C-alpha cells in the first residue's frame, strides 16, 4: 500500500494543498505555524477517522475536505459542522466504482494496531511517548524469571509495572547497588594509601629524608700529577706555581 497523492483544503492549519508523493517518500519542511503537523493529521483524519470534529475546520471556512490516493483507491473525507462523510472509490478496468461500507473497508485494509504511529510522532511529551510504546508492547515477567536472572536476589515482581518496566527497575536497583559499592571501594583504597603514606612518614623522619648521597667511586681516579713548563734555559726543572 502506497500513498501517492494528498489533497486537502480548510483542514486545521491547511488552506489548500496538493502534494504528489514519490515512491521514495516526501520531506515536509517549514517553520512554525506553516501546517507541517496539519498535513500529518490530515492523513490520519482521512484514513482512521481521528481529528474529524468540527473544530478541525479551518477558521472562516464552513467545511474541510481531504482526499488521499492509495494505489488504485481514492479516499475522500468531508468534514462539516454537523457530521463527516467518507467515500472510497476504486478503479476497476477503467471504471471508477464506489465501494460500500467504506469505514469497514479501510479498517480491513489498514489493519489494527495498538500503536498509532501518527499519534506517537506528534506526541511531544517523552513520558507519554514512552507510555504509548509500553502499552503497545504487552509483556510480563514472573517472580521465578527474576529469581533466575538475579541468582535468587530478587524474588518479587514490582507492582503496577509491565514486563519491560519491571526488568528496567530491577536493573536500576542492581546498578545503584554496584555504584554504591564502587564508591566504598574507592574510599577504602584512598584510606589505605593515606595510611601507607603515614606509616612511611613515621618510619623515615623528615631529617633523614633528603637527597641521597652520591655513591663513592670504587677506585679513586689517578692524579695526573703537576704540570711543568720551561721558565728559562737555566731552570728547566722549575715547577709551575
Give DSSP secondary structure letters for 121-155. HH---HHHHHHHHHHHS-----HHHHHHHTTTS--
- Which range scores top for mean pLDDT: 27-31, 150-154, 175-179? 175-179
Residue 61's pLDDT band (cuts 50, 70, 90): very high
What is the grid cell recorded at 114?
495498538
Pick the CATH number of 3-112 from 3.40.30.10, 3.40.190.80, 3.40.50.300, 3.40.190.10: 3.40.50.300
Beta 63-70 vs 14-20: how paired, if at all? unpaired
Q: What is the dihedral of CA 191, 196, 200, 203, to 10 degrees?
A: 90
Closest listed residue to residue 20, CA positions, set 7, 8, 5: 5
| CA dist., res. 93 & res. 107, Å (int) | 24
Contacts of 230 (CB under 8 A, 6+ apart): 236
Statement: residue 213 has pLDDT above 80: no
Give backbone dihedrals phi and psi of 68, rounded to 5 degrees, phi first: -130, 125
Tell me the whole-structure pTM to 2 decimals: 0.54
Rounded to 10 deg, the angle between the 102-110 and 36-48 helix axes is 110
Of 50 and 208, more confident? 50
Lowest mean pLDDT among 4-18, 42-56, 75-89, 106-120: 106-120
- Contact between residue 121 and residue 40 where contact means Cβ atoms under 8 Å apart: yes
Going from N- to C-terminal start, the domains of the chain cover: 3-112, 139-204
User: Cell 679513586 maps to which residue?
Assistant: 220
- Contact between residue 75 and residue 47 where contact means Cβ atoms under 8 Å apart: yes
Cβ burial of 39 (10 Å; 0-12, 13-18, 19+) is buried
User: Cell 483542514 maps to which residue?
Assistant: 11
Average pLDDT over residues 3-25: 91
Amino acid at each position: 500500500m502506497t500513498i501517492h497523492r494528498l489533497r486537502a483544503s480548510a483542514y486545521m492549519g491547511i488552506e489548500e494543498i496538493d502534494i504528489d508523493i514519490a515512491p521514495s517518500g516526501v520531506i515536509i519542511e517549514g517553520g512554525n505555524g506553516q501546517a507541517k503537523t496539519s498535513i500529518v493529521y490530515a492523513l490520519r483524519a482521512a484514513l482512521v477517522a481521528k481529528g474529524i470534529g468540527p473544530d478541525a475546520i479551518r477558521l472562516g471556512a464552513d467545511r474541510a475536505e481531504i482526499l488521499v490516493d492509495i494505489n488504485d483507491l481514492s479516499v475522500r473525507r468531508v468534514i462539516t459542522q454537523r457530521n463527516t462523510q467518507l467515500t472510497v472509490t476504486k478503479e476497476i478496468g477503467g471504471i471508477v466504482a464506489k465501494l460500500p461500507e467504506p469505514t469497514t473497508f479501510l479498517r480491513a485494509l489498514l489493519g489494527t494496531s495498538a500503536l498509532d504511529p501518527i499519534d506517537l510522532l506528534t506526541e511531544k511529551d517523552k513520558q507519554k511517548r514512552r507510555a504509548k510504546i509500553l502499552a503497545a508492547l504487552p509483556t510480563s515477567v514472573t517472580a521465578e524469571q527474576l529469581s533466575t536472572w538475579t541468582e535468587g536476589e530478587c524474588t518479587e515482581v514490582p507492582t503496577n509495572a509491565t514486563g519491560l518496566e519491571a526488568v528496567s527497575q530491577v536493573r536500576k536497583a542492581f546498578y545503584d547497588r554496584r555504584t554504591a559499592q564502587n564508591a566504598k571501594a574507592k574510599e577504602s583504597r584512598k584510606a589505605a594509601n593515606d595510611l601507607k603514606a603515614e606509616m612511611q612518614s613515621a618510619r623515615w623522619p623528615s631529617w633523614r629524608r633528603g637527597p641521597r648521597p652520591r655513591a663513592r667511586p670504587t677506585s679513586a681516579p689517578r692524579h695526573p700529577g703537576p704540570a711543568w713548563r720551561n721558565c728559562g734555559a737555566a731552570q728547566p726543572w722549575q715547577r709551575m706555581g
